[in-house]
């Protein structure tokens, strides 16, 4: 309860492009979001960090307009979010690439369906593909690409539409450590070059601190925002800063915030297991 | 050199049991160990085959059977995808037709053979009807499942990227269901073939099933065996052919999803 109050106190800046105010969401009997309040400033990189199973993806799906909140307000540029919009595009967990289309057709899916000038779009697609190091892979189908290539391809498919906000739903999950670091750097670079507002969902604290301008920490389920933390590390960022004292202090602070929540999840699971055991013993 | 050797070894390993089987059959049949009237030796069957080639009957039979199978399959699969998409994507249609389809689906198509002959006669229509019937249900079911259980991520992505409902159905939901639909069609190919032969045996003037039944009536077991071998070869070829067509038309289907 006290947490909600603290979070609600932050100054309502005029440049907030996305806002969630006291958003609630349940699935059946399961209360997932229990009053989420936060905002995203235009042109910034916001990370939302939380333990697994706390409804992080639900937040993204509500912001994207795929799911409706049960209560509270969600606003994009001050207007209530009513459905999906090409200004709020998602890079999905695992992959949202269409496996039946080549990389090229995937990238052009947006412009084609919005009836945009295809000559311009194709030129832009070529530039983005080149920038992402995917030249020569245009005719490949998503399953023929490596995990890192798929991530970059999906980012391009969104970027070509010039969205106002990019919603990144744990985009690096399932990548090996090396690829993960490369992709983090790539996404940071794209952010710094395009200045597209980005919201990243993650459960990795150092990833959040490395990439974000501000990190929101979520509690365990039923989920609230526990804390927010500005990340004052200068941009452009590169991985050398990962070794800096400033960075490690911030990560330690983040770990301390999240440890308590992680322990709670752990204890709930343990309690459920104990209960189950008891039940089995009775039988 | 070693590659050639392995290939050769595989070929020998493949051929040996076949040759052995045919040889044993020949010996047993010729020696009188088994009744050669009931089990004519392979050489006699081969001669019957040559005879049917000479008269051109085997080509006519095969042509008719393949034609019926292809036409029936095309109609059944087309209807299956169309109705599957409608029942999957439109709630009103689903609620109206699902009970009917679910009642008709468990009826084995072989049980419709006599009815089809009464309704449509001994000509082409009854055969094509039965093939269509048997192909429709597996294709309908898999299309329906594909459309209703498509990964929401794809539909979400499409709607964000500006696709209309229609575009989303045609360019996203249906292609995303294609792996399932193709599975249904592959089952359909096998069923089409089985039911075609059954229908042709029950009453026809031409076709491999007819050749089999005709051989039975005039006690030409050698001709019956020719028909059965042809049915076996065509069955294997139709499955391979279908997979080949799918791989050419849908190049991504060769790679694993995700």
- A238: which residues sit within 8 A by CB, 6+ positions away? A185
> Hey, are the CB atoms on B258 and A100 less than 8 Å from each other?
no
Q: Is A157 exposed, middle or buried (0-12, 13-18, 19+ CB in 10 A)?
A: buried
* Residue A220: per-residue pLDDT: 85
Q: Provide mean pLDDT across the span A163-188.
A: 91
How many angstroms separate the most distant Cα atoms in chain B? 77
Question: What's the rounded Cα separation, in Å, for the pair B120 and B104?
Answer: 19
Q: Provide mean pLDDT across the span B193-202.
A: 90
Find where tokens 């009744």 sit: B35
B246 touches chain A (CB under 8 A): no
Across all residues in chain B, what is the average pLDDT?
Answer: 91
Nearest to B134 by CA among B115, B100, B117, B111: B111
Q: Provide mean pLDDT across the span B230-257.
A: 84
* Residue A4: per-residue pLDDT: 42
Q: Output B1 or A223, whichever has higher pLDDT.
A: A223
Contact A66, A84 (CB under 8 A): yes
Residue A122 pLDDT exceeds 90: yes
| Closest in B159, B171, B251 to A141, CB measured | B251
Q: Which of these ranges, A108-117, A259-268, B74-83, has the smallest mean pLDDT?
A: A259-268
Across all residues in chain A, what is the average pLDDT?
Answer: 86
Residue A270 pLDDT exceeds 50: yes
Task: Assign A267 a pLDDT band (cuts: 50, 70, 90).
Answer: confident
> Hey, are the CB atoms on B156 and A61 less than 8 Å from each other?
yes
Q: Which chain A residues contact residue B252 at CB under 8 A?
A: 99-100, 141-143
Is the backbone peptide bond immediately before A87 cis, with ω within 30 degrees of 0? no
Pick the residue from chain B with its C-alpha nearest to A103: B252
pTM of structure: 0.82
Torsion sign across C-alpha atoms A37, A157, A147, B255: positive
Shortest distance between the Cα of A172 and any Cα of chain B, in A, equals: 15
* Residue A12: per-residue pLDDT: 52
CATH number at A2-87+165-282: 3.40.50.300
> Hey, are the CB atoms on B152 and A66 less than 8 Å from each other?
yes
Question: What's the rounded Cα separation, in Å, for the pair A54 and A32?
Answer: 7
Which of A81, A89, A98 has the most B C-beta neighbours within 10 Å, making it the best mutation to test the interface with B?
A: A98
Q: Is A173 helix (H, G, I), strand (E, B) or coil?
A: coil
* Residue B1: per-residue pLDDT: 61
Polymer length of chain A = 283
Residue A11 pLDDT exceeds 80: no
* B127-to-A191, B202, B203, B246 alpha-carbon distances in Å: 63, 10, 9, 25
Pick the residue from chain B with its C-alpha nearest to A109: B161
> Hey, are the CB atoms on B161 and A95 less than 8 Å from each other?
no
| Closest in B156, B164, B251 to A64, CB measured | B156
Task: Assign A235 a pLDDT band (cuts: 50, 70, 90).
Answer: confident
Domain boundaries, chain B: 41-245
Tokens coding A261: 């929540």
Q: Which chain B residues contact residue A88 at CB under 8 A?
A: 160
Residue A269 pLDDT exceeds 80: no
Task: Assign A283 a pLDDT band (cuts: 50, 70, 90).
Answer: very low
B245 touches chain A (CB under 8 A): no
| Closest in A100, A101, A143 to B258, CB measured | A143
* Residue B33: per-residue pLDDT: 83
Total Cβ atoms within 10 A of residue B234: 19
* Residue A203: per-residue pLDDT: 86
Q: Provide mean pLDDT across the span B217-231.
A: 92
Q: Which of these ranges, A8-22, A144-158, A188-202, B128-142, has the smallest mean pLDDT?
A: A8-22
B99 touches chain A (CB under 8 A): no
Task: Assign A6 a pLDDT band (cuts: 50, 70, 90).
Answer: very low
Question: What's the rounded Cα separation, in Å, for the pair A20 and A50?
Answer: 16
> Hey, are the CB atoms on A90 and B161 less than 8 Å from each other?
no
At A176-213, the pLDDT tens digits run 888 888 899 999 999 999 999 999 999 888 899 999 99
Residue B258 pLDDT exceeds 50: no
* Residue A7: per-residue pLDDT: 46
* Residue A13: per-residue pLDDT: 54
At B35-58, the pLDDT tens digits run 888 889 999 999 999 999 999 999
B54 touches chain A (CB under 8 A): no
B196 touches chain A (CB under 8 A): no
Residue A1 pLDDT exceeds 90: no
Of chain B, the end-to-end C-alpha distance in Å amounts to 38
A66 touches chain B (CB under 8 A): yes
Domain B41-245, architecture per CATH: Orthogonal Bundle (1.10)
* Residue A278: per-residue pLDDT: 60
Please report the ipTM that was assigned to this predicted complex.
0.84
Q: Provide mean pLDDT across the span B22-37.
A: 88
Residue B256 pLDDT exceeds 60: no
At B199-219, the pLDDT tens digits run 999 888 899 999 999 999 999
What pairs with residue A202 in β-bridges?
A: A49
* Residue A241: per-residue pLDDT: 80
Q: Which of these ranges, A133-137, A218-222, A254-258, A274-278, has the smallest mean pLDDT?
A: A274-278
Listed ranges A5-9, A26-30, B112-116, B127-131; the one with the highest mean pLDDT: B127-131
Contact B185, B242 (CB under 8 A): yes
> Hey, are the CB atoms on B156 and A141 less than 8 Å from each other?
no
What pairs with residue A36 in β-bridges?
A: A23
Sheet with A79-80, strands from edge to edge, namely A30-41, A16-27, A71-76, A79-80
Task: Assign B257 a pLDDT band (cuts: 50, 70, 90).
Answer: very low
- A168: which residues sit within 8 A by CB, 6+ positions away? A90, A91, A187, A198, A199, A200, A201
| Closest in A84, A95, A144 to B156, CB measured | A84
Domain boundaries, chain A: 2-87+165-282, 98-162
Q: Which chain B residues contact residue A173 at CB under 8 A?
A: none
Task: State how far Cα A165 lies from the chain centre.
Answer: 11
> Hey, are the CB atoms on A113 and B162 less than 8 Å from each other?
yes
* Residue A253: per-residue pLDDT: 87
Task: State how far Cα B236 lies from the chain centre.
Answer: 9
Phi (first) and psi of residue B107, to 5 degrees = -70, 120
Shortest distance between the Cα of B84 and any Cα of chain A, in A, equals: 20
Shortest distance between the Cα of A116 and any Cα of chain B, in A, equals: 11
* Residue A245: per-residue pLDDT: 87
């Amino acid at each position: 309860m006290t947490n909600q109050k603290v979070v609600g106190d932050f100054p309502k800046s005029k440049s907030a492009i996305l806002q969630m105010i006291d958003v609630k969401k349940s699935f059946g009997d399961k209360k997932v979001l229990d009053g989420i309040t936060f905002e995203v400033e235009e042109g910034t990189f916001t990370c939302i960090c939380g333990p697994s199973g706390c409804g992080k993806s639900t937040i993204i799906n509500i912001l994207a307009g795929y799911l409706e909140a049960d209560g509270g307000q969600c606003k994009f540029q001050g207007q209530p979010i009513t459905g999906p919009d090409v200004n709020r595009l998602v890079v999905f967990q695992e992959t949202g690439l269409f496996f039946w289309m080549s990389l090229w057709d995937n990238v052009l899916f947006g412009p084609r369906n919005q009836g945009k000038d295809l000559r311009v779009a194709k030129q832009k697609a070529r530039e983005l593909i080149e920038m992402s190091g995917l030249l020569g892979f245009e005719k490949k189908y998503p399953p023929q690409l490596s995990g890192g290539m798929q991530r970059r391809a999906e980012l391009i498919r969104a970027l070509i539409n010039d969205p106002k906000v990019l919603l990144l739903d744990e985009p690096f999950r399932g990548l090996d450590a090396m690829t993960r670091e490369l992709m983090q750097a790539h996404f940071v670079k794209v952010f710094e070059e395009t200045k597209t507002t980005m919201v990243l969902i993650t459960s990795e604290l150092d990833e959040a601190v490395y990439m974000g301008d501000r990190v929101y920490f979520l509690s365990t389920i039923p989920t609230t925002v526990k804390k927010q933390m500005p990340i004052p590390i200068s941009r452009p960022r590169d991985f050398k800063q990962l070794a800096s004292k400033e960075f490690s202090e911030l990560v330690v602070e983040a770990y301390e915030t999240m440890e308590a929540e992680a322990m709670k999840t752990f204890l709930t699971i343990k309690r459920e297991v104990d209960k189950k055991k008891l039940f089995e013993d009775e039988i | 050199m070693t590659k050639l050797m392995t290939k050769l070894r595989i070929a020998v390993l493949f051929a040996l049991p076949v040759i052995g089987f045919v040889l044993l059959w020949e010996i047993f049949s010729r020696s009188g160990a088994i009744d050669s009237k009931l089990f004519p030796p392979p050489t006699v069957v081969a001669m019957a085959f040559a005879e049917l080639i000479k008269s051109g009957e085997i080509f006519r039979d095969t042509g008719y059977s393949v034609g019926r199978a292809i036409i029936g399959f095309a109609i059944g699969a087309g209807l299956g995808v169309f109705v599957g998409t409608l029942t999957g994507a439109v709630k009103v249609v689903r609620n109206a037709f699902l009970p009917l389809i679910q009642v008709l689906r468990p009826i084995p198509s072989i049980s419709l053979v006599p009815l089809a002959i009464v309704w449509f006669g001994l000509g082409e229509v009854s055969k094509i009807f039965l093939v269509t019937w048997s192909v429709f249900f597996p294709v309908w079911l898999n299309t329906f499942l594909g459309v209703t259980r498509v990964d929401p991520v794809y539909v979400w992505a499409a709607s964000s990227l500006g696709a209309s409902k229609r575009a989303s159905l045609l360019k996203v939901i249906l292609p995303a269901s294609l792996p399932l639909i193709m599975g249904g069609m592959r089952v359909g190919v096998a069923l089409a073939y089985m039911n075609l032969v059954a229908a042709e045996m029950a009453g026809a003037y031409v076709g491999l099933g007819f050749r089999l039944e005709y051989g039975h009536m005039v006690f030409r077991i050698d001709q019956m065996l020719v028909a059965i071998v042809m049915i076996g070869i065509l069955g294997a070829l139709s499955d391979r052919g279908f997979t080949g067509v799918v791989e050419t038309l849908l190049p991504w289907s060769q790679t694993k999803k995700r």
